[in-house]
Amino acid sequence: MLPTIWALILAFAILMYVTLDGFDLGVGVLFGTTGEERYRRQMMGAIAPVWDGNETWLVVVGAGLYGAFPTVYAIFLPAFYLPVGLLLIGLIFRGVAFEFRYKTEAMRWVWDLGFFLGSLIVAFVQGAAIGAMVEELPVEDGQFAGGPFVWLTPFAIWCGLGLVAGYTLLGATWLILKTEGELREWAYRRVPWLLGAILVFLLVAFVFALGEHLRVMDRWLERPALLIFPLIGAVATVGVYRGLRRRRDGLPFVMTVVIFVCAFGAMAGSFWPYMIPFSVTIDDAASPASSLRFLFWGAGLFVIPVILIYTACVYWIFRGKVRAEVLYD
């Protein structure tokens, strides 16, 4: 029971990270597609109060894996040393750019480039890691048995690009929700193109998975109930378009979050009960019951509720539109 509870806690933490940090990574990618300083300042202001709190969930995921599922941690890290290193470098540049770009004019382009590339790289390596997991990592006797670039396959690269497009869509709908004026209209114009890019990604990924006979596709035959996720995702996609047409600023973001939740649900349902598909199960990877109990009473009943309360408070306090004349500094 405890291994399953901790697997669900980690799944929730991953979903929170993907949803919350996803939109501010997407804003970072959009940041690099415009040279308008007034747009860039508004973008910074739209995510400044929440971006660092969003990344707390990534810490929860890493610490949770290390404590509750050390076998998964021991396999995942050697398999993705380079992506994890790039992710950390990207997160560092993003954090520094928030402060340093306002302290200089001559070197501002450096920090702006760091913010854009950091966001792009973090999004890409996360998607590439997902693609590598879907293709299955080489595991022997509970240990990673591949090389440092086993994750760098055409399918993994395609998944990396797909997640970049997904996060950028989240970022664009967040800007619609949080900004006004010219930037809001600028974001509105980009959402249909991003939705189209995601649909192309899904189609190509589906055809590739069928052509390569990836085992993850067998799970859909074994568990037809998983079809509920793409059906809800399709309805949410229609909801995004309806929000765009009717200029309802909140609807595109909410519906995009639903799309991400459905995608995550479909992936998690396809993997279950494997932590490393399809070689290490939840029970195989779990720590001893005494360790899981200790973690549950500490992190499970204290740390995670505190993070949830903090997150809810911050989003409530900074609700509403970010006015163009009120800039983050």
- Two structure tokens written together for 6: 């901790």
* CB neighbour burial string for 242-262, b if at least 16 within 10 angstroms, e if fewer: ebbeeeebebbbebbbbbbbb
- The CA distance from 94 to 222, in Å, is 42
The answer, yes or no, to whether residue 315 has pLDDT greater than 70, is yes
Question: Quick one: pLDDT at residue 325?
Answer: 61
Q: What is the mean pLDDT of residues 303-319?
A: 88
What pLDDT score does 161 carry? 95
Question: Which pLDDT band, with edges at 50, 70 and 90, does 265 fall under?
Answer: very high
Is 190 part of a structural domain of the chain? yes
Task: Please list, in sequence order, all residues whose beta carbon lies within 8 angstroms of the beta carbon of residue 290, skipping any fewer than 6 positions away.
Answer: none
Instruction: Please report how many Cα atoms fall inside a 13 Å half-sphere around the Cα of residue 6, on the Cβ side.
Output: 33
User: Which pLDDT does position 328 carry in this prediction?
Assistant: 57
d(CA 287, CA 71): 8
Domain encompassing residue 106:
2-212+283-317
**Would you say residue 59 lies in a domain?**
yes
Q: Cis peptide leading into 278, omega within 30 of 0?
A: yes
Rounded to whole angstroms, how far apart are CA atoms 18 and 145? 28
Which residues contact residue 16 at a Cβ distance below 8 angstroms, ignoring those fewer than 6 apart?
Answer: 57, 311
Confidence of residue 122 (pLDDT cuts 50, 70, 90): very high
Kindly state whether residue 174 falls inside one of the protein's structural domains: yes
Report the alpha-carbon distance of residue 166 to residue 215 in Å, rounded: 24
Q: Would you report the helix, strand and coil content of the chain in percent, each value rounded to 5?
A: 80, 5, 20
Instruction: Indicate the DSSP class of residue 224.
Output: G
Q: Peptide bond preceding 224: is omega within 30 degrees of 0, i.e. cis?
A: no
State the pLDDT at residue 326: 60
In a domain, 220, yes or no: no
The total number of structural domains in the chain stands at 1
The residue among 59, 76, 67, 68 whose CA lies nearest residue 3 is 68
The answer to whether residue 217 is domain-embedded is no
Most confident of 162-171, 273-282, 302-311: 162-171
**Residue 88 reports pLDDT greater than 60:** yes
Residue 51, pLDDT score: 84
The pLDDT, as a whole number, for residue 260 is 93
Averaged pLDDT of the chain: 88
Tokens in use for 214? 């990836």
Average the pLDDT over 249-256 and give the result: 93
What average pLDDT does the segment 70-83 reach? 88
- For residue 235, being part of any structural domain is answered with no
Domain contains 204: yes
Tens of pLDDT along 171-220? 999 999 999 889 999 999 999 999 999 999 999 988 888 887 888 888 88
pLDDT of 216 reads: 82
Q: What is residue 233's predicted lDDT score, i.e. its pLDDT? A: 92
Confidence of residue 228 (pLDDT cuts 50, 70, 90): very high
pLDDT digits (tens, 9 = 90+) for 130-151: 998 888 888 887 788 878 888 8
Q: Given a cut of 60, is residue 313 above it in pLDDT? A: yes
58 lies in some domain: yes
